[in-house]
Every structure is written in C-alpha cells, then in structure tokens.
Structure 1
C-alpha cells in the first residue's frame, strides 16, 4: 500500500511539474524589449514641416462645427465649454486655393475661464508626397491671442511612427465677422 501511495504521489508530482512547464512555455508575456532593427527602424531624423491651417466656421461648407457647449458658454467671455469638431484643410500657402497637403482632423475645446485657451486634440493627416498616408498627433494648449503658440507632437503613424516634437502656430489672418481663420504652422518632429 505504501509503495502504491508513493507511486501515485510520484505520478501526480510528475504530471503537475509537466503541466507547469508546458503552461510556462505557452504563457503570453505582457511586454518585452525589442531592438530598433527588429522593427526595421533606421537612424532617427528631424523634419520641419510648414503649412497653413484653414479653420472655416462660416458659409455652406464649414470645416469646423460646434458640437457641444455648456449652459454658460454663450455668456462666457472666453466661450468656456465650447467643443468643435474639425476637418480643416492644410495648404502650402495661406490662400485656400493653394495646393492642399493634408487635413487637420480632431477636436478643439475652449478650456479656460480667463483667456481664449483651447485644448487641441488633432491629427495632421497628410496626403501629399512621401508623407501621403502618414499622420502626426498633437495634444496641447493653444492660447489663441498669443503671437506664437507651441503645442507638443505626441506621436504619429506611417513615416512619422514614433514621432515626437512640437508645433508652432501663428495666426496669419482672422476675420472678425465670419470667425474664419488661417493659421501658419511650423512643425518640428523627430521620427524614423
């Protein structure tokens, strides 16, 4: 009986040990270290992009539309609580008729009680040249009345994979009657 019990214990221990080893071999890891070469990443480069952002809120075909507001938005001097969805053209020159290189797609919201300060959450989706199909993602604060505003580039896709950098925005024109604006952008971005 003792031999049988020892034999069964040995079998149970062997089965347990084997199943533990098999499970360990099949486990899925949450993370692992990779080399740049494994992803085909070459030397990092710094690019400068220059374009004009056309924020059109008036007319039959606006590219920026208000999608939400707070009860106090219309009485606030800063428009606090306003949220707009955008699909603004990006062009090489300040004229809307100049060559389009992409679209600015995303959301901006009035996020300050004391000044016109927007929270910008957008992608620059490029459709021209070698950057066609690539995007840059911007998430930052835009104090509209400042001469130059700086916002971080927090990522990208396509040729801008692993992007990081910053975007400088400078108002080129603003029409007080219509609310339409043309903003000059200089974007400096590290990418592979």
Structure 2
C-alpha cells in the first residue's frame, strides 16, 4: 500500500489530497476502494469539557443507586457535547464537537468507558467524523483511546488518540488531543 503523510496542527492543514469526493455515494466510494491509497493524518486540537457553569456540555443522564457513594462514581452515565478548538483557549478557532456517551466503569480507579464521535463542524473536514470507543483512565498523565471508525473523509478510519490534561478546573477542564488516523484517499 502507498502511504502519504498529512499533518494537521492547530487547525492548519498541510495537504489537500485527502478529500473524499462528496458526489460519490457510499456504494460508489466502496467500489473504488480497491484503487484507493491508505494515508495517515495527524490532527491536533483541544477539547473543552464544561461540567458546571451557565453552559455545561456534560450532563449526567443515569446512575446506579451506589454511584454517589462510590469513590470512583462507578455506574454514572454522562452525555457530552464538548467544544473542540485549535488552541487551548475557548475563543480559539472552532474545529468541531465531541459528542457521545461516557460511563464510569471502574470500581478501583476513575476510568471512563467512552463512545464518542469527533464531529468536524468547520474547515476542510467539515461534515466528517472520527469515532472512538474505549477506556480513558482520566488521572493518568497520558491516555490512549482507539479510533474505530469514521465518516466522510474518515470513512473506515482506524488509529489512536493520545490525550493529556491541559488544565483542570471545577467548571471546565481542557484536554489536549492528538490523533493518528489511517484512512483512504481515492
């Protein structure tokens, strides 16, 4: 397979050859996939997790009868619709949203089970998504999350997300996300 490197830092795109032709139906795209080349893209942005305040982006939607007494909040289920930006400041260029469901899934440590879509709402990848599904031990300095799929430019994506905590505050935490994504270009 041929590989090319597409690097994205803080919303600045370094290569224009990754656009999946929007005129193609998924069936047409799939039929041409044998002739596509696999490429890798590196993306970098910040996730703003607003837990409290006037506009929270994290809402608890369920919990077990023991969640409130558990030191790890085991059993709580949360929905998120977090802002993604090119820089750590909330007024940085908007990249998209992180939308999905998170469950606190460890009796011993604070660790999340995440099913989250990264939805690109601006820029070159607008309308495309990347999907992650996995375990996020939030107090580890560096965490890895698997990329299990995507849509649009990122159809059939795979790869890894490396995340670290940039800032943590009772109202809003900011996480640095670096994605290493394999996907296809026709």
Q: How does the TM-score come out when normalised to structure 2?
A: 0.80
> Which of 31, 39, 42 does residue 38 from structure 1 map onto?
31
Deviation, 1:130, is 1.7
1:43-64 deviation digits (Å, cap 9, x = unpaired):
1100000000001010121011
Aligned residues: 157
Distance 1:39 1:162 in 2: 14
Structure 2 gaps of 5+ residues are: 1-26
Aligned residue number for residue 89 of structure 1 = 83
How many Å apart are 1:42 and its aligned residue?
A: 1.9
Matched residue SS, 1:159: helix
What is the alpha-carbon distance in structure 1 between the residues aligned to residue 37 and residue 121 of structure 2? 24
* Aligned with residue 102 of structure 1, among 96, 100, 103: 96
1:79 matched to 2:76: no
Match of 1:132 among 126, 133, 151: 126
Which residue, 161, 166, 191 being the options, matches 2:183?
191
Give the C-alpha shift of residue 149 in structure 1.
0.4
Cα distance, 1:37 vs structure 2: 7.5
1: CA distance between counterparts of 2:103 and 2:168? Answer: 18
Shift of 1:38: 2.3
Shift of residue 134, structure 1, vs aligned partner = 0.2
Ranked by relative contact order (alpha carbons within 8 Å, sequence separation 6 or more), the top structure is: 2
**Alignment-derived partner of residue 174 in structure 2:** 182
2:29 aligned with 1:63, yes or no? Answer: no
Aligned 1:133-172 pairs, distance under 5 A? 133-172=127-166
**Structure 1 residues without counterparts, runs of 5 or longer:** 1-33
Larger radius of gyration: 1
Moved over 3 A (4+): none
Alpha-carbon separation, structure 1, partners of 2:30 and 2:78: 41
Aligned-CA RMSD value: 1.7
1:77 aligned counterpart, secondary structure: coil
**Matched ranges for 1:114-129 at <5 A:** 114-129=108-123
Report deviation, 1:109: 0.9
